Amino acid sequence: MLERAGVNAKACEVILEGADHGPLEDPKAPPGDVRFVRSIPLPKAREDVVLAYQMNDVDLPPEHGFPVRAIVPGWYAVASIKWLQRIIVTDRPFSGYYQTLDYAFWKRDGDSAELVPLTTMQIKAEIAQPVEGEVIAANSIVRVHGAAWTGGGDITRVELSMDGGARWSDTKLIDKPIRNAWRLWGFEWHTPAAAGRTRD
């Protein structure tokens, strides 16, 4: 789509504007109505960003962004704008509220720090089972499983600790790595002989 539009050689970012808007209570926010708008670098937009209007051969439901949603693979979902209304190609960095104040983090460099937009997903793993607070039998084999993902590269190893990080065990990666998709893992845990609590 960008190629068909004829992007200017000076362009550097693509601004994605959603339909959701409203006033904000944050004193740092601009006054009045604020639209949900984010930008992505032009090279990223040309690489693998998708404008989705269907999911599993069915029109997107409203909660997923009907009629069109931008999908930015490998980035936090905040960049995948729902209810897409407008796309703007710009020759200067975008500095909207949801780009520079909200959904941003402090990046420190020596004594200085600046707010930087959330972009690429960091490495993360989650336990799906057992759930927090679940009671399981002592001295038994319990299957612990979950998923791990990252915004770049492949998940090649997931480790699990049951003693606050004193010892770590490799889990078994269940499926093959697929770019921009989570990877499932599992572990057969022999629970302690004595009852107690474990939270790691």
Q: pTM to 2 decimals?
A: 0.84
| pLDDT value for 200 | 52
Q: C-alpha angle 134/138/143, rounded to 5°?
A: 60
Q: What number is the average pLDDT over the span 37-61?
A: 96
What does the DSSP assignment read for 60-95? PPGGGTTT-EEE-TTB-GGGS-SSEEEEEEESS---
Per-residue confidence at 173, pLDDT binned at 50, 70, 90? Answer: very high
Distance CA 157, CA 159 (A): 7
> In terms of Cα–Cα distance, which of 71, 36, 35 is closest to 52?
71
What does the DSSP assignment read for 86-131? EEEEESS----HHHHTSSEEEEEETTEEEEEE--BPPPEEEEEESP
Residues 6+ away with beta carbon under 8 Å from 95: none
| pLDDT value for 199 | 57
List domains and CATH numbers for the chain. 2-117 (3.90.420.10), 124-190 (2.60.40.650)
Q: Is the pLDDT of residue 197 over 90?
A: no
Average pLDDT, the chain: 94
